[in-house]
Each structure stands twice: as C-alpha cells, then as structure tokens.
Amino acid sequence: MASVCLGIRLRAWAGLTPFPSCSFSLGASSSSCHFGSCTFPAVSSSSSSARIPLAGSSQTRYKAAVSDQQATTTKQQHPPSSSVAEVAASITALGQKARWQAAMLAFADMGRNNLSADWVTHRAAIEACRRGLQWDLCLHLLDDMKVSGMRPAVAAYGAALSACSRRAQWLPALAVLAEMRQASQATKVSPNVTIYSTVISACGQGHQWAMSLALLREAQAKSLPLDIIVFNAAMTACERGRQWSAALALLDEATGRLGLAPSAVTLGAAVSACAEGHFWQGALSLLDAAVSCRVVPDVILCNSAISAAEKGHRWDVSLALLVDMSRP
C-alpha cells in the first residue's frame, strides 16, 4: 500500500508518465544500436574494443599480470598443489583474502605441474579476479573455458560482469551480454534479471543512461521477473546522467504500476535526481515517504535532500534538515 501511495504522490508532483518504450537493437549483425535518438557502436562477443588481448599462452598471460616480486613471494608461501581439487581450494581461499595475484599464479602454474584446469578452478579464478576488480582477466578466463570446451554458467558470467561494472567497463559488459544472448539459442545459459541489473549498472557507471534504459526495456520484453534492484540500477544511471525526470518516472513505474517496495537505494537515487533537477519539494516528500515505506533514512539519503534544498536556494530547509539529522 505504501508503494502505491508513493506512486500516486509522484504523479501528483510533476504529471509523470512511465518512460516510453523505444526500439533497441544490439548485436554483431548491425553496425550500430539505437535507443530513441541515441546511437551507440555495435558490440559483439568478438569486438576488439571489448577485449584487452594479452600476448602468449594462457599461463603466460596470467603470469604477466603479476610482478616478479609477487611471484617469488607467493611461491615461497604456497608450494605447488598435487591435485586439481587442492588448487581449486587454494585459489578460492586466496580470492577470499583479496589476493588475486597469488590466485592467478596458482592457476597459471597448473600446466607446469601437469594439472588440467577444470570448471571449478576456472570459476574460482574468475571469482578471485572479480574480488580484485580485474575485469580483463575475468573475460580471458571465460574465453579459456570456451576454448577448452566448457560452458560457463550464469554465475561465472555474472562474476565477470560484476568486475566490469565496478570498473565502469560498459562496452565489455555489453559484449558479454551479447555473447550470452547468442549462446542461449544453443544452451540453457541465458541472461537473467541479475545479469541485466549488472550490465545496466555498468552502463550507469559509464554514464550511458540511455543504454541502461534500453536494457531495462529489453528485460521487460523478455518477461523477466523485474525486481527493485534492476530499477535501482536504471534509476542510478539516470541520476548519474542528470536525467532526473526519467529517474522519477522509473520510481513511479516500479512503486506504482508494479507495486515493488522501494529500498534506501531506490529513494536515495530518486532524491539525488530531484537535487539534480532543483526539485527540492520532491526530495523532501520522498524523505517523508521513506517512513511510510518502512525505509530508515540514512546519511546519504538525508545529505541528498539537503543538497536538493540548497540547490533550490532554500537555506532554511537545509538547516532544518541538518538539525533533524543531529537529533538522537
């Protein structure tokens, strides 16, 4: 009920309507992809702009990412494992300790120890690189899996995409998505709503708000069960792109038509969008609505509301909010 009330309140503010659906194409078969009046370069799984090639064999490529000093230290602390299972366990443990360099050395040394990397070791190495934000190594590990005849699972793709997103590598993320869409025709590995959320976030990090909206509409067209997380990613992309009206329209759609419960991230993105649009009244109403939606306003949310009031030249409102924040 609170979500519906929030949607009604949004429409009353600015006469918002859901963001219009637009034609969108993405893949290797076209020379460009379009969203409304925006045009983007075509991206495919083999796009040279989406891969950072490393010369030599797989072992040489992975060792090249680690300095000689790191390699010497790692070999002294971690003697070679005698089985594939031991290597996988070692890579997993190193990845959990944020030691992606040591994890990749253990992976690269498997060939020298007459061990063949299997699906589990590849997956552990991808996760270690994800934690280390080594998006390019994640993509190369995916390539190695396919060359070896393995089929990466959705989780492996998701880990690689997460690294791309956190590094704002939106073109490689689009390439992986295109690859998954093509592979889904022959396998059961198809992009789910989590994959779309991650790619949308990557586009938002790269200030590609229009592409983020296009991907959201594509997920809708595929009848995927959209959740508040995917809307959060799209709203944040719009906020980063200073498209405040589009961000509020998405909030209206998510909480109104779809009845999704907003989170602190949802309202934070909406309030930030209001600040960008000098819509301080809307920011204050959202801050007030957080209570009815059972969302505890955090420091980020309150600071965004203060910023909105400041940009609207309402210093009195900013001071009042600051006083409220200081109260226990």
Decide which of 135, 166, 191 is a domain's last residue. Answer: 191
Same domain, 315 and 253: yes
- Residue 32: DSSP 8-state: E
Report pLDDT for 176: 96
The reply to whether 156 and 240 lie within a common domain is no
Cβ neighbours around 60 below 10 Å, total: 11
In a domain, 287, yes or no: yes
Which of 222, 305, 201, 230 has the alpha carbon at shortest distance from 24?
222
Q: Is the pLDDT assigned to residue 187 strictly greater than 80?
A: no
Quote the mean pLDDT of the chain: 79
218 located within any domain: no
- Asked if residue 260 lies in contact with residue 252, where contact means CB atoms within 8 angstroms, the answer is no
Q: Which pLDDT value is given to residue 75?
A: 52
Pair 121, 182 in one domain = yes
Name the residue with higher pLDDT: 2 or 139: 139
pLDDT of residue 79: 56
> Which range has the top average pLDDT, 200-204, 245-249, 257-261?
200-204
C-alpha distances (whole Å) from 257 to each of 221, 228, 249, 254 are 16, 12, 11, 6
Asked if residue 178 and residue 276 are part of one domain, the reply reads: no
Is 207 within the bounds of a domain? no
pLDDT of residue 35 exceeding 90, the answer is no
What are residue 311's DSSP bridge partners? none
Which residue segment(s) compose the domain that 238 sits in? 228-327
Q: Residues 178, 245: one domain?
A: no
Any domain includes 294: yes
What integer pLDDT is reported at residue 285 of this predicted model?
86
Res 60 pLDDT > 90: no
**Residue 12 burial (CB count, 10 A):** 10
- Whether residue 293 sits in one domain with residue 244: yes
Same-domain status, 320 and 234: yes
Domain of 121, CATH number, reads 1.25.40.10
Asked if residue 32 is part of any domain, the answer here is no
Average pLDDT over every residue of 212-224: 96
- What percent of the chain has pLDDT above 90? 48
Q: Which of 171, 191, 211 is the last residue of a domain?
A: 191
Predicted confidence (pLDDT) at residue 36 exceeds the cutoff of 60: no
65-70 average pLDDT score: 54
Check residue 282 and give its pLDDT: 85
Q: Is residue 38 part of a domain?
A: no
Domain co-membership, 89 together with 134: yes
Is residue 52, in this structure, part of any structural domain at all? no
pLDDT by residue (tens digit) across 73-129?
Answer: 555 455 566 789 999 999 999 999 999 999 999 999 998 888 999 999 999 999 999
pLDDT at 31 over 60: no
71 Cβ contact partners less than 8 Å away, ≥ 6 residues apart? 63, 105
> 323 and 240 in one domain?
yes
pLDDT band at 238 (very low <50, low <70, confident <90, very high): very high
Question: Is position 268 within any domain?
Answer: yes
Do 250 and 184 lie in a common domain?
no
The verdict on 253 and 311 lying in the same domain is yes
Of 10-19, 98-107, 128-137, 191-200, the poorest mean pLDDT is in: 10-19
Number of structural domains found in the chain: 2
Token couple for 271: 């309030």
Which of the two residues, 158 and 277, has the higher pLDDT score? Answer: 158
Report residue 65: phi and psi, to 5°: -80, -5
Q: Which of 140, 175, 191 is the last residue of a domain?
A: 191
Q: Is the pTM of this model over 0.85?
A: no
pLDDT at 67 over 70: no
